[in-house]
Amino acid sequence: MDSINKLIENLNKEQKEAVLSTEGPNLIVAGAGSGKTRVLTTRLAHIINSKKAWPNQILCVTFTNKAAKEMQNRVLSYVSEKSTAVPWLGTFHAISVKFLRRHAEAIGLKGNFTILDTDDQKKIVRNICKAEEIDAKKITPRFILSFLDKWKNKGLLPEDIKEDKFTGLEKSIFKVYKIYQTKIRDLNACDFGDLILYCVKLFENHSDIKKIYNNNFKYILVDEFQDTNFIQNKWLNLLVNEQKNICCVGDDDQSIYSWRGAEIKNFLTFDHIYKGCKVFKLEQNYRSTKNILETASTLISHNKGRVEKKLWSSAQHGEKVKLNCYQTGREEAENISDILENKLKKTYSLNNVAILVRAIYQTREFEERFLKVGLGYRVLGGTKFYERAEIKDAVAYLRIINQKYDDLALERVIENPRRGVGESTLNQLYSFGSQNKLCLEDSIKKQLETDSLKPKMKTSLLLLTKMIDKWRIDVKTNKHYDLLKIVLDESGYSEMLKNKKDFENESRLDNIKELLRAMREYDNLQSFLEHVALATSIDKEWEGEKINLMTMHAAKGLEFDVVFLPGWEEGLFPHQKSLEEKGDLALEEERRLAYVGITRAKKEAYLSFAMKRSYHGEWMDALPSRFINEIPDENIEKNEIETASRSKEDFEFNQDIDMDFNNEYRSPGWERFKKNKMLKWKK
């Protein structure tokens, strides 16, 4: 077991100073890859080992349970065996629960109060909407709960808000908020948003309780401080004692969660709030090459609202950051695939390669390409394209049009949007079909001729069956991708998506647009459906090394040997909607996102943009992202890639399902699948 002194001696000068400066307010500005976790845990262990405080006198706050567990284990390995774990080490929510269990009566709860999960919350909101005649289809429970969470993150209970300030939608949501809080109090329950807020109310209204913890906590340590919101920061301020021994660690350049309520000003104003604050800058990076760091540092230096710093490394310059220009987005995916297959795969494990996108719909072209050439992949922090709910819904409509015996597809169509057909009715229809050897569609049509169905349900199913019959005629005179537009509009699915008020709605709409674009690559409906079926089958069978696909937001805290950053075009990155909503503040956050993306790379980084992208089936000229102009020429290698035209015969899934696979599929990917026995086709 390493001694604390040895651990401290192995730190660099800035890290050592940050660890040893235990008294008063401290802000540790920890750049990407600068050893933030090591410094924080060593500081915690040092406080315990030097007898400055007992473990139960230290409050240490993290943002994830994983981070808390990792820190607890590290500290236990650093200090003497006789020492106990740090009891007040955990997330804001976990620690808040401990406070509230002890003092529940002071805020009007019993000590055995229930913590509601998301499903519980949705159910309560749904019941309130029904009672108050609020259309839960147009204003989803999830959307309402996002408003409630926003208010709670601002420290606002219903009694703290002036009702007359709201009109229209917000007025209805506020009405739900008042009823919701009353109901959950009656249930002796609270939700996640309440946990921190009730602690703040507890400390504000009960100075005697606040004093207990002020006296107990000699030191407060906070990880990822740049991600704190208003109520979390207030919670911390209330717990700081007269000595103000609070140490916050983070990186303002990695503050990318304003859409979740994070307020970067908590970080930027810390030294103003806590007078005499010592600021320590950890600028030595232990992750990336000099070229990668200089590229990232120069880019982020264009932000005005930040703590001045510049990352540096004692490592070699390494490969220059590649900046590649492509004709189209498809060529971008093809070339990146070729680089992986022909160059990088020989040097790196695919598990240590990542493709980071700005918007999740961008993964589709890469997924298609990797399936085509036989490269394994995973989507981290999200769902694979053809497994996303809205994509499966849209494909279900196409499947039932293609052939009426697809009962599973029809069942999904009936449920999305909901047509008033419950589980018992579906069971009735299936049972009748089984008895009479009928598929679900024919069973419905037979039942429609009787009085066995309720009038409202009968009307709904009759309309649906007529639409399906019409679409089967439409498919003969319309392109398959145009047919899908018609189907989604006439079925009510498009309206359902547009009316859903939640934060994922934009992504769902983008995914549908991407699906329509994907369909244009196939000659007809049959070939496209076969592609989807085969693609998902192959994907599920894949084993071994996998390329990592994810958004830049999901990549924070991770690192990879090689990182690809495609789609650096105006409107896509920086994202146009973000700029329209928040202007310069959004631009700075988008730039921080770019910084996070580049600094995930340890050895090689590839930036790229396309000259044209397809939107809604139309080719649009694309402009390179303004961020490209902000990166230093001396650290990058610029390439205009000419991709050779590829034969459709190379590898397509749009063949007849009954074909002789051995004769028809000739691609490297298909050969690899057969060799590795990842697909077990019946001969």
Encoded tokens for 515: 């699906």
Rama region for 618: left / alpha / beta (φ>0; ψ in -120 to 50; rest):
beta
Q: Count Cβ atoms within 10 A of the Cβ of residue 132 and give its class: 0-12 exposed, 13-18 middle, 19 or more buried.
A: exposed
**Residue 36 is a catalytic residue:** yes
Which residues make Cβ contacts (< 8 Å) with residue 301, sequence separation at least 6? 310
Buried b (16+ CB within 10 A) or exposed e, 419-431: bebeeebeebbee
**Residue 441 is a catalytic residue:** no
Which residues make Cβ contacts (< 8 Å) with residue 158, sequence separation at least 6? 174, 177, 178, 181
Catalytic residue among 226, 228, 232, 254: 254
Catalytic residue among 191, 194, 224, 251: 224
Catalytic residue among 14, 36, 441, 517: 36
**Residue 223 is a catalytic residue:** yes
- Determine the Cα–Cα distance for residues 135 and 126; give it in Å rounded to an integer: 9
- Determine the Cα–Cα distance for residues 536 and 550; give it in Å rounded to an integer: 18
Rama region for 110: left / alpha / beta (φ>0; ψ in -120 to 50; rest):
beta
Reported in sequence order, the residue ranges of 338-429 that DSSP labels E, i.e. its strands, are: 353-357, 377-379
Q: Count Cβ atoms within 10 A of the Cβ of residue 262 and give its class: 0-12 exposed, 13-18 middle, 19 or more buried.
A: buried
**Residue 295 is a catalytic residue:** no
Encoded tokens for 528: 């496209």
Rounded to a whole number, what is the distance in angstroms from the first to the last CA of the chain? 60
- Determine the Cα–Cα distance for residues 335 and 346; give it in Å rounded to an integer: 16
- Determine the Cα–Cα distance for residues 82 and 396; give it in Å rounded to an integer: 61
Give me the amino acid identity at 534. Answer: L
Catalytic residue among 16, 17, 37, 319: 37
- Determine the Cα–Cα distance for residues 164 and 10; give it in Å rounded to an integer: 60
Catalytic residue among 223, 368, 588, 604: 223
**Residue 42 is a catalytic residue:** no
Catalytic residue among 74, 508, 592, 600: 600
Q: Which three-class secondary structure state does DSSP give residue 284?
A: strand
- Determine the Cα–Cα distance for residues 38 and 44; give it in Å rounded to an integer: 10
- Determine the Cα–Cα distance for residues 352 and 335; give it in Å rounded to an integer: 19
- Cis before 417 (ω within 30): yes
**Residue 82 is a catalytic residue:** no
Q: Are 99 and 235 in contact (CB under 8 A)?
A: no
Q: How far is CA 412 from the centre of its chain?
A: 26
Encoded tokens for 679: 């697909």
The catalytic residues are 36-37, 223-224, 254, 600
